[in-house]
A and B are shown apart, each in its own frame.
Chain A
Amino acid sequence: MSHVLIAPVILPAVIGALIILWMRADLLLQRVFSIAGTAALLAVAIYLNVLAASGQVQVYRLGDWAAPFGIVLMLDRLSALMVALTATLALAVQLYAFGSGWDRKGWHFHALWQFQLMGVCGAFLTGDAFNLFVFFEVLLIASYGLMIHGGGPMRLRAGVQYIAYNLAGSTLFLVALGVLYAVTGTLNMADMAARVAVMPVEDTALLRTGAVLLMLVFAIKASLVPLHFWLPSTYANAPGPVAALFAVMTKVGVYAILRFYTLVFPQDTVIESVVMDLLLPAALFTLAIGQIGIMGTRNLGRLAAYAAIGSVGTLMIAVSQFTPQGTTAAIYYIIHSTLAGAALFLIVDMIGARRGDLWLRLDTVMPGNALIGAMFFVTAIAVVGMPPFSGFIGKLLVLDATRTAPQVVWIWATVLVSSLIAIYGMVRAGSLVFWKPYGLQERPVPHEPAPLPSRGRRIPTKLEPDEHIQDLGDAASPALAAVAVGALLAGIVALTVFAGPVTQFARATADQLHNPALYLHAVLEGQEGTK
Chain B
Amino acid sequence: MELLLSSAIGMLTAAGIYLILRRRSFAVVLGTTMLSYAINLFLFSTGRLVVDRPPILQEGATAYTDPLPQALVLTAIVISFGMTAVTVMMALGAFLEGGDDRVDMPRADREPDLARSREDFRA
Task: Check B32–A167 contact: CB distance below 8 A.
Answer: yes
Which B residues are in CB contact (< 8 Å) with A8?
none
The B95-117 residues at the A interface (CB cut-off 8 A) are 97-99, 102-106, 108-112, 115
Task: Check A141–B93 contact: CB distance below 8 A.
Answer: no
The A346-362 residues at the B interface (CB cut-off 8 A) are 357, 359-361
Task: Check B86–A141 contact: CB distance below 8 A.
Answer: yes
Task: Check B35–A178 contact: CB distance below 8 A.
Answer: no
Task: Check A299–B110 contact: CB distance below 8 A.
Answer: yes
**Among B75, B87, B115, contact of A130 (Cβ-Cβ < 8 Å):** B75
Task: Check A171–B86 contact: CB distance below 8 A.
Answer: no
Task: Check B32–A357 contact: CB distance below 8 A.
Answer: no
Which B residues are in CB contact (< 8 Å) with A361?
112
Which B residues are in CB contact (< 8 Å) with A360?
112
Smallest CB separation, A299 vs chain B (Å): 7
- Interface mask (A355-374 → B, CB under 8 Å = 1, otherwise 0): 00101110000000000000
Cβ-based interface call for B79 (8 A): yes
Which B residues are in CB contact (< 8 Å) with A175?
39, 42
Which B residues are in CB contact (< 8 Å) with A159?
90, 93-94
A134-B75, A157-B105 known; A164+B28 contact, CB < 8 A: yes
- Segment among A32-40, A52-60, A147-155 that sits at the interface with chain B: A147-155
Bound form: Cα–Cα A357–B113 in Å: 12
Which B residues are in CB contact (< 8 Å) with A23?
none
Bound form: Cα–Cα A195–B25 in Å: 43
Which A residues are in CB contact (< 8 Å) with B83?
137, 141, 163, 167, 170
**Among A156, A179, A181, A357, contact of B93 (Cβ-Cβ < 8 Å):** A156
Task: Check A171–B94 contact: CB distance below 8 A.
Answer: no
Cβ-based interface call for A298 (8 A): yes
Cβ-based interface call for A161 (8 A): yes
A141-B86, A178-B46 known; A157+B94 contact, CB < 8 A: yes
Task: Check A174–B115 contact: CB distance below 8 A.
Answer: no
Cβ-based interface call for A405 (8 A): no
Bound form: Cα–Cα A450–B29 in Å: 41
Cβ-based interface call for A45 (8 A): no
Which A residues are in CB contact (< 8 Å) with B82?
141
Smallest CB separation, A338 vs chain B (Å): 26
Bound form: Cα–Cα A137–B46 in Å: 21
Task: Check B76–A359 contact: CB distance below 8 A.
Answer: no
Bound form: Cα–Cα A158–B105 in Å: 7
Q: Nearest CB to that of A466 among chain B residues? A: B97
Which B residues are in CB contact (< 8 Å) with A137?
79, 83
Task: Check A298–B111 contact: CB distance below 8 A.
Answer: yes
Smallest CB separation, A355 vs chain B (Å): 12
Which B residues are in CB contact (< 8 Å) with A170?
79, 83
Q: Nearest CB to that of A134 among chain B residues? A: B75
**Among B38, B46, B48, B93, contact of A151 (Cβ-Cβ < 8 Å):** B93
- Interface mask (B32-67 → A, CB under 8 Å = 1, otherwise 0): 100110110011011110000000000000000000
Bound form: Cα–Cα A163–B87 in Å: 7
Q: Would you list 11 pairs from A and B whose C-beta atoms are within 8 A, ordered by A residue?
A: A141-B83, A156-B93, A161-B103, A163-B83, A164-B20, A171-B35, A178-B39, A178-B45, A182-B45, A182-B48, A187-B68
Which residues on B are within 8 Å of A, measured CB to CB? Answer: 16, 20, 25, 28, 32, 35-36, 38-39, 42-43, 45-48, 68-69, 72, 75-76, 79, 82-83, 86-87, 90-91, 93-94, 97-99, 102-106, 108-112, 115
The 9 closest A-B pairs by CB, nearest first: A359-B112, A153-B98, A156-B94, A182-B46, A153-B97, A178-B46, A167-B32, A157-B94, A174-B39
